[in-house]
Structure formats: structure tokens, C-alpha cells
Structure 1
Amino acid sequence: FESATAGRRGTPALGSPTPAATPLPVGTAGTQVVTTDTVATYQAGPPQRPDIHHDNGFLQNPNDPNDRTPIATQSPGVGDYAARAEWEGRLAAGRAIQGVPGVPHNNIPDGLDTYDHFLHGNGADRHFSYERFVSTDPAGQAVLTNSTRDTQQGAEAYYNQLVANDPSLANRPVTFQITGSQIPVGSSEQFPYPETENWQKAIGGHNVWNSATVTVYPPEQPGGQPRFSMDMTLHAEDRYNFNPGQHDIATGAPDAANGRLERTGLGHQYTNYGTLQRQVTWTQGSPENAVSRPIGGR
């Protein structure tokens, strides 16, 4: 799906020059996009973060799984401080073996960074590279490909709505914005759980949502199809914490060991954020033949 052969940013189609006519801004913010073939729901307008609910792991209210306020922590004891020191040692040992051939767990740098922040970040938000996830884990590429296709379909659907309401728009370049609801990553074939130990540890299951500015150019030839150019941002979120009854996939270590650090305030849950941007160009009706490249030329 990714391609490095696209023309410079701003081109309306696969290598064709930008038409002289200035695209007309169209659409009304908040208008729902009517579509039956997308995973996300879309509306017109600038980026708008969906209401994403994150659990609180071992600090979740046991009487209300929907309570967004963590319960109070407990005072740590001597054994808790000893456990914290043991996990500090494991973190240091893990860093020491990164890149060492033949050693288990020798390629988990992002997983170690996220755990380091759990121990030392005091609960502050953290930003990570979703580009690295896409480039180093097959699941990341699948998420990017399928979420991009989903937003392409949303863009085509909204353009069709606009033209249905005002047929004259089909004869001139137009531009609009759309923003989507969250898509859960980790529980479907389209949006699979990370395959590598590194990203299983770093983000695991998470949520993504897309926003985009779309420009549509009328057909160059009679009977042709409109051409789409979409500047899309994928937004990712993950609550990093540990959960009762769960365990590490690669090692089998129970979450409860670090859950105790959460309960005593010796480790802190936090939210991971990541974004990436793509320019995507295609002809209406053929989103599978799109050309996509990173915005900024990377």
C-alpha cells in the first residue's frame, strides 16, 4: 500500500499537475457521513477526538467497570519496595541485552521504554512513534492499510452526499474535512493485535481514529472519475497499565506482580499517544489502487 513514487504533496492524482482552479471549501461541520461499508463512523469537520474509555487496571473501581476515576492507592510496605527494586533490576538487565544475538527478549526497546515510564514517569502522558510500529510489526502495517481504506471510503461517501445535494460541485474542485470514531486494534483480522514481543509489551491492544483533509478534482476527461487527494492523520491511544487476571504473552509473568506496584503508587499507569500522517491519492471507486506516502517526504 505504501509507495514512494507519488508526486509532490498537493498533487490531485497520480503524478498529474495541480489544476489552476482553487478548490472550494464545502461541507458543514457536524454533518454525519452516511455510509454502510466503514468500520468507523465519520462526520464533517476538523479533527475531533472520540470519547475513548480507558480502564484503570488494578486501580479500577471494583463496583463499577465504567468508573473513569482510579481508586486510591495504598501505602507501600517493605516487601513492595523490595519488589520495585527487583523490577528496576529486570529493566536494567533487559536494556543490557538489547541487540545481543541469540538471547531471548533482545529486541524489545519500545517495550522497555514504556515500562521505564511506568516506573519513573509519575503517570504523565507519553508520546511514541506509531511510524515505528507500522514499520517493524506486520500488524502495524495492516492497521495503517485498513484504517486508511476505511477513511477513503468515508471521504468518497461524503463527496457523494455533497454532490447529491448540489450537483454543480461535480464540475469543480472542492475540499472538505472529515473526522472518525475510534477503531479498536487487537481483536479483529482487519485490525490485529501486535505480532512482535516488542509491540505487544509497548502498546498491545489500543485504539486509533483518523482525521483528514480531502480535496476532490473533477474528471479530466468526459465520463471519467473524480480524483481524490487526502491528507490523513492517524491518531493512536493506549492506556499503559496492568490488569487483573492477565499475563505477559511472551514470558507468562502475571500482571498481578506489577499490579501491586500500581496499587501502592510505586508504578503509575499513563496514556500513550502516537500519530502518523499520509497523503493518499486515488480515483473514485478504486481506493485499493491508491498511492500513499508519508507527509513530509519520509
Structure 2
Amino acid sequence: MSVLGAFLSTWDDARATLGAGTPVDGSRFDMGGRLDELHRTVAAATPGSAWTGSSAEAYTDRNHQLAATLARLAELDRRLGAEVDRSAQVVAAGRRDLDTVKQWVLSAAASVPPNAAGERALMPVVSKGVADVADIVQRSNSDMSGIAARIRDIGTGYQALTGREGRDGDSTDPDGKPTDQPGTPGESGIPPPPPWAKHDGGSGEWDSQPWYSRADDAAFKAAIEAGLPVIEQKWPHAAELLDHYLDNTGSPYNLDVNSMMGDIPQMQARADAMINDQVNRIVSEAAATGQYGQPVPFRTPWQGYYMDSDANPDWYRAVGGVDMSAGGVVTVYPPDSPGGQPRVHVESQVNVADRYNWDAGKETQIGPITISDAQMAGLQTAGLAREFDIAGASSVSTYDGVPR
């Protein structure tokens, strides 16, 4: 390889370290203006004289926290935009300086004869050119290292704003552990429910977004957390599951099935129908075979049940829909008199399963906050909230009498 060829190879390697295409500036990362506007909107959203009491005080406290968070996010975004601008300037300067060195060496090469004497004459020029290239790369790397350190510090600031310990910062917050504990699957010899599988892929892989694109997600999460006391007043179950989502643990949630079916008579009626179908089947088989007094277990496959948004707005916003399975043990006794109905002793239980995630297409207005499914789903990919499995079992219900 000629002396000039060796230089050009070195130059190409150096130029490759500065990438290709137009350097990205900081404008796409700096949302400071939008966050400042949101900060002003939130700061003005006070309860006013018409709303007083503990809920209003909780909302005011959260609102102040949210306003401070938005102001800090705006500052971090401006800093991030400035650092990205600096990195673009470093790249542009490095490319420009490398081009200058290359042109100087090529001009010198054009002035010497294409022979051994020319090669010898070009060696000090190439040596100087290689040294200049090394200096440019070293300077660019040093500048980029400083920028990277400052961006890491900004990233730490973002992370500090998105940490939480449950509602109101209370590490003892019993998320996923309702006060009225439901039953345990398989009680009283009842067969456990069949395996359950989620129906869709959810919002996407958790924590898959690059951290520098999460400022809007962090601001949205802060707004939702500030509004949790308001949501809880209107939809307590929806607030409880949303809070568990925002806790960002992804741990399973133990659903209070007793409370759910108590609030939704139609769901209780569906469960009763599932159980009665099985009881009547077992009664018919006992009558046909004469096998009385033997406990017979049963278990139904999963069946979907979707909440009515008008009749059950809280549970609709909490889970939307669930899968149900009923299990039990039936003992059939012969009729007390000829021609009468058999008697039954039934122990039964209802299991519910679901996956807490968000699908695009819906939004809910709560005071000054608009909650869209797309925004909520974005918290999953930003690593600021986490989808989780929901499961629960009702208490075991006992019935003695004639089949219903």
C-alpha cells in the first residue's frame, strides 16, 4: 500500500467514528416549552371554594407535587436538548476538521512525482496528517465523553422523578391485597381452575423505549398519580388497579371476587347459571344410574364476561372484562318421597382471571386530566408502569335443597 493509501485508510476509519448523515439536533428532545405550558395548566387547576375536605386537600397536595415535577421535567428536557445540540456541533466540527486535513494531504500528494522519490517526499506530510487526524478523534471523543456524562446525569434526574412506593409514597400500601380477602382456589376439594392464558400481547415489551424519549411519559404518570385521589372518589376499584399498575412491579393482583360479584348482579347470575348447569347434569346422571350420596366434582372451562360501561362504570374501568370458571362438589341424595325431587348438597366457587393492560381506542376525562389508553400503554414500554396478571377466587358457597 502506498503512503497516501495508508493515510486514506486511517482517515476513513477516523471519519467512520463520526457517523453518517446530518447530525440530529436537540429540538426533537426538548419538550421544555410544552412542559412549561402543562405546568401552568396544572398549577391553575386548584379545587376552588366549591370543593373542600380531605379529598380536596389530597388533590391539592398532589397537584403541587405534579407542578413541581413538571417544572423539573422542563428543566431536564432543556438540558437534554442543549447536550444533544452540543453533540451535533462536535460531530460537525470533527467532520470539518478531518476534511481539512484530508484536503491538505491530497494537495501535497498532487505536487510530488508518482515515484519512489515522491513517496519519500510525502512521508512527513502523511505523518503530520495522521497525527492531526488522531488529535481530532481524541478531541471529539473527549468532548463526547463529557456530553455523555452530563446526559447520564440528566437520565438520573428523570429516574428520580419517576420512582414511587405506592399510593401517597406509603411503602405499606396494600396494593393487590383487598381487605376482604377472597377464597383460595381448590378449597373443600373443589377442582382448581384450568390453566389460563392471556388473550393478547399487551402494550409491548416493558422498558423497551429509549430513556431519552420518556419525558412525556414521566409527565403523564405524574399527572395520573396526582389525580388518583379524584379517581378513587369516583371509581375506587379502577383507582386500586391503576395504582398497582403505576407501582411498576408487575406482581400478580389478588382480585376480590366476592366484592366484584356483589357489585355486579348480572355477573353473579352468570356464575349461578354456570354452576346450576353442572348441578343439574350431575343430578340427571345420579337419577339415571341410581348412584346417590357420592360427592361428584365439577369444573367449567373459562368463559368471558365483559362489564357494562353504564351499569358498572367502576369495574368496567378497572378490568373491562374477565374470564370466569366455576368449580364445585355436588352430592345428590334420593327424593324424600316417591316422585319427589332429589336433594343436593353443593359447595361451589367462582374463579376469575384477566391481564391488566391497555388497548388503544378509548379515553376517559377526569377533571383536568384526559386518560387515553394509548398514553397508559406508553407507560409500560417506558418502564414507568407494568402490566400484571389478575386472579381471584370467591369464597366457597354452600347450598342444600332441591336443584335450582
**Alignment: residue pair count:** 212
Between 1 and 2, higher relative CO (CA 8 Å, sep ≥ 6) is seen in 1
Q: How does 1:13-24 map to 2 (within 5 A)?
A: none
2:119 aligns to what? none
1:160 aligns to what? 284
Answer yes or no: is the 8 Å Cα contact 1:185–1:193 preserved in 2: no
Does 1:262 pair with 2:386?
no
Larger radius of gyration between Structure 1 and Structure 2: 2
Query: What TM-score do you get using the length of structure 1 for normalisation?
Result: 0.63
Does 1:48 pair with 2:48?
no
Deviates more, 1:120-129 or 1:87-96: 87-96
Does 1:195 pair with 2:277?
no
2:214 aligns to what? 80
Deviations 1:139-196 (A, max 9, x none): x2111122212211212213323443x33x2xx422111001011001xxxx756733
Q: How does 1:1-298 map to 2 (within 5 A)?
A: 46-59=191-204, 71=205, 73-95=207-229, 98=232, 106-136=233-263, 140-164=264-288, 166-167=289-290, 169=291, 172-186=292-306, 195-243=311-359, 245-248=360-363, 253-277=371-395, 278-284=397-403, 287=404
Gaps of 5+ in 1: 1-44, 60-70, 99-105, 288-298
Answer yes or no: is the 8 Å Cα contact 1:50–1:181 preserved in 2: no
SS in 2 for 1:58: coil
SS in 2 for 1:268: coil
Cα distance change of structure 1 residues 237 and 135 upon mapping to structure 2, 3 Å threshold: same
Cα distance change of structure 1 residues 72 and 84 upon mapping to structure 2, 3 Å threshold: closer
Cα root mean square deviation, aligned: 2.7
Deviation at 1:122, TM superposition (A): 1.6
Inter-partner Cα distance in structure 2 for 1:194 and 1:225: 41
Inter-partner Cα distance in structure 2 for 1:260 and 1:266: 9
Cα distance change of structure 1 residues 107 and 121 upon mapping to structure 2, 3 Å threshold: same
Higher helix share: 2
SS in 2 for 1:53: coil
Answer yes or no: is the 8 Å Cα contact 2:251–2:389 preserved in 1: yes
Inter-partner Cα distance in structure 1 for 2:213 and 2:324: 39
Inter-partner Cα distance in structure 2 for 1:282 and 1:250: 49
Inter-partner Cα distance in structure 1 for 2:365 and 2:343: 46
SS in 2 for 1:142: helix
Deviates more, 1:226-235 or 1:77-86: 77-86
Query: What TM-score do you get using the length of structure 2 for normalisation?
Result: 0.48
Inter-partner Cα distance in structure 2 for 1:234 and 1:194: 24
Answer yes or no: is the 8 Å Cα contact 1:194–1:204 preserved in 2: no
Answer yes or no: is the 8 Å Cα contact 1:76–1:265 preserved in 2: no
Aligned residue type for 2:200: D
Deviation at 1:73, TM superposition (A): 4.2
**Identity fraction in percent:** 20
Higher strand share: 1
Inter-partner Cα distance in structure 2 for 1:250 and 1:206: 24
Post-superposition, which runs of at least 4 consecutive aligned residues in structure 1 deviate over 3 A? Answer: 50-53, 75-79, 191-194, 248-253
Inter-partner Cα distance in structure 1 for 2:305 and 2:364: 17
Deviations 1:195-243 (A, max 9, x none): 3332112111111101101122211112111112211111011111111
Inter-partner Cα distance in structure 1 for 2:332 and 2:308: 31
Aligned residue type for 2:333: Y
Deviation at 1:84, TM superposition (A): 2.5
